[in-house]
């Protein structure tokens, strides 16, 4: 483990005014996204769409890194340049999603555990040669009747730390993503309790497994009410609850936080990030690692038609720019 290299990469990932594009949709997820614009999910269409995003002029002003899917890290741009090199040439750090997805947790009916540790050490060695300098592993924690259980939180926390240890061993910065889902009818208070409990378990495991905290990034959910909750929280409540939770749990040495959007709309994700950065300074950089909340409008503008490339890139650039402003707490709705 080269601590200097890990720390340098982690700092660059949360550089002021910048955040991370999550373009690591699994085959199933990208198909669902393409279905919304009636485009067939072929390898060529997926490659063309991602090349469109990665070659957007000026995106590097606001995007520090891009999380890639296994297929994408092996693909080439139209001119034959490997896609990771397309990013590196712009000063954008290529990353890789390494988990194999959440499966039903044995011994629990409604909870999931993420798989993919088998063979991970060898995969990391290959991904490093392919250009990846950071990685990501997502665990999902579901809120519901009697869940999450301590068992589910414990299993996922342990696995996240195992992943992080193997990643750092390969000199690849781990993005540790424990996502408390926001799909249920729970209040923001319940989300805060579950998020705090989850993060405590995760940091306990990270410590046990000797993770170098300055050389990792946390990708958490914002503390927010479930989508089906009749009372939705205000941006002020979301910011206050999230920061309060973090101050209890997160270590000051942590390189930074990159929020997931978790089903929030493009505007909501930007507004809530902005609100948190308006209450700065915080011990850690509060940044973004959005998928849908950076891409939704761009995907629509593209519609699978090569002639729409520039229009889609303009939309993507604008969304990235607005989140860049939110990193400083300087976003306003009239920028939309």
How far apart are the C-alpha atoms of 270 and 267, rounded to whole Å?
5
Q: What percent of the chain has pLDDT over 70?
A: 100
Identify the CA nearest to 42 among candidates 58, 50, 53, 31: 31
How far apart are the C-alpha atoms of 164 and 172, rounded to whole Å?
9
Identify the CA nearest to 292 among candidates 43, 21, 35: 21
Q: Give the chain's domains with CATH numbers.
A: 3-335 (3.20.20.70)
Is the preceding omega at residue 8 within 30 degrees of 0, hence cis? no
| pLDDT, tens digit (0-9, with 9 covering 90-100), for 286-334 | 999 999 999 999 999 999 999 999 999 999 999 999 999 999 999 999 9
The single residue listed with the structure tokens 């948190």 is 276
The active-site residue out of 25, 51, 111, 177 is 177
| pLDDT, tens digit (0-9, with 9 covering 90-100), for 158-196 | 999 999 999 999 999 999 999 999 999 999 999 999 999
| pLDDT, tens digit (0-9, with 9 covering 90-100), for 88-120 | 999 999 999 999 999 999 999 899 999 999 999
- At 179 the three-state DSSP class reads strand
Q: In Å, what is the CA distance from 239 to each residue of 192, 245, 325?
A: 11, 10, 16
177 given a catalytic annotation: yes
- Look at residue 280 in the predicted model and tell me its pLDDT: 85
| 80-85: Cβ within 8 A, 24+ apart | 82/130, 82/131, 83/47, 83/50, 83/51, 83/54, 84/130, 84/131, 84/132, 85/131
Angle between helix axes 188-208 and 150-169 (nearest 10 degrees) is 50
Identify the CA nearest to 143 among candidates 193, 69, 215: 193
Structural contact between residues 21 and 68, judged by C-beta atoms closer than 8 angstroms: no
208 given a catalytic annotation: no
The single residue listed with the structure tokens 């195992």 is 162
| pLDDT, tens digit (0-9, with 9 covering 90-100), for 2-24 | 999 999 999 999 999 999 999 99
Cα radius of gyration (the chain): 19
Report CA torsion sign: 106, 110, 111, 116: positive
The active-site residue out of 18, 97, 136, 219 is 219
Q: In Å, what is the CA distance from 154 to each residue of 106, 158, 238, 253, 278?
A: 13, 6, 26, 23, 34
Q: Two tokens at 9?
A: 């990469």
């Amino acid at each position: 483990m080269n601590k200097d290299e890990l720390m340098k990469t982690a700092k660059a990932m949360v550089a002021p005014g910048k955040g991370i594009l999550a373009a690591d949709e699994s085959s199933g997820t990208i198909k669902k996204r393409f279905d919304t614009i009636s485009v067939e999910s072929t390898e060529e269409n997926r490659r063309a769409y991602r090349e469109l995003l990665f070659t957007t002029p000026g995106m590097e002003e606001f995007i520090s890194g891009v999380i890639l899917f296994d297929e994408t890290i092996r693909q080439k741009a139209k001119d034959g340049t490997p896609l990771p090199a397309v990013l590196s040439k712009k000063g954008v750090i290529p990353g890789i999603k390494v988990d194999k997805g959440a499966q039903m947790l044995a011994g629990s009916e409604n909870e999931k555990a993420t798989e993919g540790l088998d063979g991970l050490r060898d995969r990391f060695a290959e991904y490093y040669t392919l250009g990846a300098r950071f990685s990501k592993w997502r665990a999902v924690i579901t809120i519901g009747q009697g869940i999450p259980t301590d068992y589910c939180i414990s299993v996922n926390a342990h696995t996240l730390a195992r992943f992080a240890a193997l990643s750092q061993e390969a000199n690849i910065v781990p993005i540790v993503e424990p996502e408390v889902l926001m799909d249920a009818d729970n209040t923001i208070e319940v989300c805060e309790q579950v998020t705090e409990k989850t993060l405590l378990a995760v940091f306990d495991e990270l410590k046990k497994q000797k993770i170098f905290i300055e050389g990792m990034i946390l990708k958490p959910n914002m503390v927010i009410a479930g989508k089906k909750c009749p009372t939705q929280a205000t941006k002020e409540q979301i910011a206050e609850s999230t920061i309060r939770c973090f101050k209890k749990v997160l270590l000051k040495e942590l390189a930074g936080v990159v929020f997931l959007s978790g089903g929030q709309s493009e505007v909501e994700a930007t507004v809530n990030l902005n609100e948190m950065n308006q209450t700065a300074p915080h011990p850690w950089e509060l940044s973004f690692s959005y998928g849908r909340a950076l891409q939704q409008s761009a995907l629509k503008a593209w519609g699978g038609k090569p002639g729409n490339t520039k229009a889609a890139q303009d939309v993507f650039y604008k969304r990235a720019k607005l989140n860049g402003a939110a990193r400083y707490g300087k976003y306003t709705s009239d920028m939309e």
